[in-house]
A = this chain, B = another copy of it.
Amino acid sequence: MSRGAHESVEAHLEHVLARIRPLAALEVPLADAGGLVLGASIETRLPIPAFDNSAMDGYAVRRADVADAAPDRQVTLSVVAEVAAGSPLDPAIGPGEAVRIMTGAAVPSDADAIVPFEDTDSGTRSVRVTAAPKPAAHIRRAGEDVAAGRQILEAGVVLTAARLAAAAAAGLARLAVRPSPRVAVIVTGSELVGPGAPLRRGQIPESNSVLLAGLVTEAGGTVVRVEHAPDDADAFAAALAGAAAEHPDLVVLSGGVSVGDHDIVRTALEPLGSVDFHSVAMQPGSPQAFGTLPGGIIVFGLPGNPVAVAVSFEAFVRPALQLLRGAARTQRRRLAAVATAGWRSPVARRQYMPITIVDGAHGASGGGLRVRPAAEGGSGSHLVGGLAASDGFAIVEAGIDEVRAGDEVQIVLVDG
């Protein structure tokens, strides 16, 4: 079935996402949660910091004792104890007394300021103080960063190192996360041969399995199977059965979704009843198949051209994987850039043009991003050579027939 010619990218994406539910969350130790998506918002178990602690190495004092200290009015205090970081001690401090204290150690209850080493003679039995501290000087108050019971991470964020560290600091040992989606890849085409194999007339190296497996991994999925099938109904059915045996959440196919005689993918999937074939108003990547296989496995059928595969994945499969793994953000952040060279775009379609960032090796130019088409010779968004040089895609909406040098364009970066 086809749901109308030249559906927009947004309409097709909405159709896809409406049919996908996030995978069920499960609890894992913090150390296993890196890179996964948080399944439920979390609150601090502890205030951060958990207790009043010293921000400096120095002396915990009663501020009244040293309120008048100055280089020429030094005040000598008796050092009655020492608290290192991690120490459970809470030594009493009487008038004229001080406690030597290390950064991070709990501030004794009797102290109301810290005098850092540099304002003292660093004495061990007694200490001469040469400057008066301000009230509560160098004391980090319990909860001054985050109070206990405050939400610190929202469901749907990717658990970066920094976010995991914040959760650990907040006293959490386990987190609810959604698992990485299990993905099977099937690449079709009788003309395709494995890497390095000798080529006869009519044969080309197979590159879509490497592409799709890599894109799945980059999107946070887990590749559980890669199958290659020639344009043969039995071989394709066997590949599909092999993929399904891995209990994938999603199957992604390349090739066989257009109208040719040999498009056995279409022939095999259509009878399964819930796979639709769409013509989407995009360049490249117009023919798209999407649906579910028996058992509820989500299936995407992408075109066979590698650039169309990369673009179709970016537009539809990657958002689907983000939704499956529970990410609140299903699409990449779009950035504004200036085109340093122009190109043509089909007015009736949204164009995804592979682009290269134009700047120094360290990218430290600041200012605005500048981009040019990744494939030499300007346009040619179907060209594989452009993939090699591509830092991402410019997205040129339908209605625009040309990008001119100097125009601002919307881009997404895919190289991290």
List B contacts of A310 (CB < 8 A): 161-162, 165
List B contacts of A260 (CB < 8 A): 57, 102-103
Q: Are A387's CB and B306's CB within 8 A?
A: no
Question: Quick one: given A335-B335, A361-B329, A383-B145, are A202 and B162 in contact (CB under 8 Å)?
Answer: no
- Which A residues between 309 and 339 are near B, CB-CB below 8 angstroms? 310, 328-336
Q: Are B210's CB and A164's CB within 8 A?
A: yes
Q: Are A162's CB and B414's CB within 8 A?
A: yes
Report the bound CA distance from A146 to B30 in whole Å: 47
Of A168, A259, A306, A336, the most chain B CB neighbours within 10 A belong to A168
Which one of B200, B218, B375 lies within 8 Å of A160 (CB-CB)?
B218
Whether A199 sits at the interface, judged by CB under 8 Å, is yes
Which of A62-70, A82-90, A237-245 lies at the interface? A82-90
Which of A47-55, A71-79, A130-138, A293-301 lies at the interface? A47-55
Which one of B90, B106, B385, B416 lies within 8 Å of A158 (CB-CB)?
B416
Interface residues, chain A, with chain B CB atoms under 8 Å away: 29-31, 34-35, 46, 48-51, 57, 83-90, 100, 102-106, 117, 145-146, 152-153, 158, 160-174, 189-192, 195-196, 199-208, 210-215, 217-218, 230-231, 258-262, 304, 306, 310, 328-336, 354, 357, 359, 361-369, 375, 380, 383-385, 387-390, 410, 413-416
A-B contact list, 15 entries, CB within 8 Å: A84-B262, A85-B231, A86-B189, A86-B203, A89-B202, A104-B304, A146-B383, A153-B388, A161-B218, A162-B354, A162-B390, A165-B208, A166-B306, A166-B385, A334-B363
